[in-house]
Amino acid sequence: MLVLIANLGSTSFKYRLYNMAAGEDRVLAKGGYERVEDHGVVIEDALAELEKSGAVGSRKEIDAVGFKTVLGRDLSGCVVADERALAALEGFAEVAPAHNPPYAAGIRQFARILPDARLIALFETAFYQWVPEAASRYAVPESWHAAGIRRYGFHGASHKFVAERSAELLGREDVAEVVRGLYQNGPQAVDKPLRVISCHLGGSSSVTGIRNGVAIGTSMGFSPQSGLPQNNRVGDLDSGAIPYAAKALGLELPEIERQLTKEGGLLGVSGVSNDLRDVKEAADNGNANAQLAIDMLIHETRRWASSFLFDLGGLDGFVFTAGIGENGAELRAAVCEGLEGFGLKIDPEKNAACKGEETEISTADSTVKVFVIPANEELVLAREVTRKISSLS
């Protein structure tokens, strides 16, 4: 089965073509476009390139297209990208304006360009379908809750990959099997608990607690703007700050939203950049605000991780993933500092040597195993698309 994974941003389009024949999961081709003005044009160009390169003899050979959709109103999971999915995306277009409109448009364009291919959407919220209501509900009036205001969680594909791969690395194939079948079978009982905290640290960051392969809670909430400080998004903020800023700074709501989503986070605190590499360079050169931005990211990562430690009742695995998590040795060390009393000890030499590859960085006597697991959201999506299609057959 040939599965094309389509990653659509407001001005970007990236793709990977997988051969999902039994036991292969092989990437046949990949590419991308930036500064996109018309997704229909670049989709046509990408398909032509796949034919020209020989990755496919004809675009008609593509069996399915998978979309890593973000947030849908009254809809989550791995679903057929039909009119119901489009309505769900458009119903929350204002909540995820950089993602939902491009995905809705892209799904319609692929339906026109590849009419015989199956179109499947995997919502980023899917991994959090089984989070207990006490952890997913806000203490808002019932009418707000009925309108869909609750904690949804994001980076679901990344944390699901961590759930499966960490179970394999910890010798828990029973839990890994639960994760593989999660969207088809739901949570399943296992003989012995497996407790993991996953830290997805990148341009956009989140921390998720995972018990027996299933999320129990996550740092992100109603929108991708919440949780940890992001590259240029504020993260958690007291709701009382918004009306105060409107009065004190003379700002209208659209401008407040723009500043919180475009000028906050690492950029807002450091005043240097929304890229941690630039922020770290500035901090190393004595920029106090840049160092503060890094310290805040570390503090919030530890704060959210500690909250899940209590809910999990202990810990077996602690994982770093995504660009910062995979490459930031100093940040990993800072997040894990002083946790020896919880049985978590990292090996300084292993940690320093790890540059983005899958590695265990804990000491031999650490009762909590610490891993770096590179993110592979596209592979998760390709596998879930294949499972979904098999379930429809």
Spatial separation of the C-alpha atoms in residues 31 and 6, rounded to whole Å: 10
Task: Give me the pLDDT at residue 23, please.
Answer: 65
Q: Over 80: is that where the pLDDT of 24 sits?
A: no
Contact 103, 67 (CB under 8 A): yes
Residue 324 among known ligand-binding residues: yes
274 labelled ligand-binding: no
In whole angstroms, give the CA distance from residue 274 to residue 271.
9
Distance between CA atoms of residues 307 and 95, nearest Å? 26
Whether residue 336 has pLDDT greater than 70: yes
In three-state secondary structure terms, 284 is helix
Domains and CATH numbers, the chain: 2-123 (3.30.420.40), 156-372 (3.30.420.40)
CA distances from 358 to 16, 261, 266, 351 (A): 21, 32, 26, 11
Q: Which residues contact 209 (CB under 8 A, 6 or more apart)?
A: 195, 196, 197, 215, 216, 217, 218, 307, 308, 309, 311, 312
Identify any residues that bridge with 226 across adjacent strands, giving them in sequence order. none
The answer to whether 323 is annotated as binding is: yes
Consult the annotation and say whether 327 binds a ligand: yes
Residue 277, marked binder: yes
Name the 3-class secondary structure at 67. Answer: strand
Share of the chain above pLDDT 70, in %: 99
**pLDDT category, 375, cuts 50, 70, 90?**
confident
Instruction: Retrieve residue 380's tokens.
Output: 């998760």
Mean pLDDT of 155-160: 92
7-11, 78-82, 167-171, range with the lowest pLDDT = 7-11
pLDDT number for residue 7: 86
For 203-258, the DSSP string reads SS-EEEEEETTEEEEES--SSTTSSS--SSS--S--TTHHHHHHHHHT--HHHHHH
CA-nearest of 382, 376, 379 to 65 is: 382
Instruction: Consult the annotation and say whether 325 binds a ligand.
Output: yes
Note the pLDDT tens digit of each residue in 254-280: 999 889 988 999 999 999 998 889 999
Question: What predicted TM-score, i.e. pTM, was given to this entire model?
Answer: 0.90
pLDDT of 10 = 66
Average pLDDT of span 82-95: 93
Q: Is 7 annotated as a binding residue?
A: yes
Annotated ligand binding at 14? The verdict is yes
Is 276 annotated as belonging to a binding site? Answer: yes
3-state DSSP of 240-253: CHHHHHHHHHCCCH
What does residue 105 show for φ and ψ, rounded to 5 degrees? -65, -40
Q: Is the pLDDT of residue 13 over 90?
A: no
> Which one has a higher pLDDT value, 218 or 21?
218
Other CB atoms within 10 A of residue 207 CB:
27
Residue 233's contacts (CB-CB under 8 Å, 6 or more residues apart) are: 204, 224, 225, 260, 261, 264, 265
Between CA 374 and CA 336 the distance in angstroms is 18
Using CA atoms, how far apart are residues 370 and 351, in angstroms rounded to an integer? 10
DSSP string, 313-331: TS-SEEEEEHHHHHH-HHH
Which helix (H) or strand (E) covers residue 89, if one does?
helix 83-91
Q: Is 86 annotated as a binding residue?
A: no
> 364: burial class by Cβ within 10 Å (0-12, 13-18, 19+)?
exposed
- Partners of 319 in beta bridges: 198, 371
Residue 312 has pLDDT above 70, yes or no: yes
Question: Looking at the predicted structure, is the pLDDT value of residue 12 above 80?
Answer: no
Tell whether residue 337 is among the known ligand binding residues.
Answer: no
3-state secondary structure of 33: strand
Average pLDDT over residues 210-226: 93
Task: Single out the residue of 43, 86, 42 nearest to residue 62, CA to CA.
Answer: 43
